Amino acid sequence: MKRVENEEVKKGELLAVIDPKDLKISKDKMLYSIESLKKSIEALELKKDRLQKSLQLQREIAKIDIKAIEKEKESLHFNIEASKTKLRKLQLDLKRYKNMLDQNLIASTEYENIKTSYSALSKQIEAMEKKIDEINVNISKAKKAYSLAILNEKEIKELEKSIEAQKENLKLQMKSLEDIENRIGYTKLYAPFDGIIAKKFLSAPRVVKAGSPIYALADPKSLYCEVLLSEKKMYGIKEGSSVTIKV
């Protein structure tokens, strides 16, 4: 608050700054709370998804012939080993093509083709390995009673209620964060128009309450003044003459 009375200011000039330290602390706490809540919601949704998949598997596994699953697993193991052998060859080719590319012996497209094949095969192997994991789960789940699905259905419904409640809480916290950010934006006071500081109500450092005046600004160009003059003082004054008024 370095501005003084009768000082000229331009529109948009900074007049005063309120220390936003407490507000920033509140903002940091709110951000931490929001992030924690988001992670909690994410964890609940992941748990819900796992239960839904498990429920679906339980219903399907009850009708699946385990021998057929074992046969599929054996076939996948064979395909994985064959693909890994091919992948090792592609890995060697990839290094070789990279060396040739660095020496400008081949076009970049040849290297990219090998790289794409390697990436695609890696993903294919990963997908097959995931499928093996799913099959192992299916074999285990097939031995359990179908009644477990009912328990999962109840738990899923409870999770859905909890997720919805936390999402509503998240909305409220996001609104509170928005309010805090708006209040931080109000900690800087700017001149709304060109003018002069007519009055300074406070001096730093001071605790400022909401709604407390800090400065009174006046626009000299918009002032209107009526003055009573005697006939003697009117001598020489004409319409349009410039005058100086001292208050």
User: Would you give the DSSP letter of residue 64?
Assistant: S
Tens digits of residue pLDDT in 87-143? 999 899 889 888 988 888 888 888 899 889 999 999 999 999 898 888 888 777 766
pLDDT at 163: 92
pLDDT digit string (tens) for 19-48? 778 888 989 999 999 999 999 999 999 988
Burial of 122 (0-12, 13-18, 19+ CB in 10 A): middle
pLDDT of residue 23: 82
pLDDT category at 186 given cuts 50, 70, 90 is confident
Give the pair of three-digit tokens for residue 157: 């419904």
**pLDDT band, residue 64 (cuts 50/70/90):** low
Place of tokens 């074992």: 70
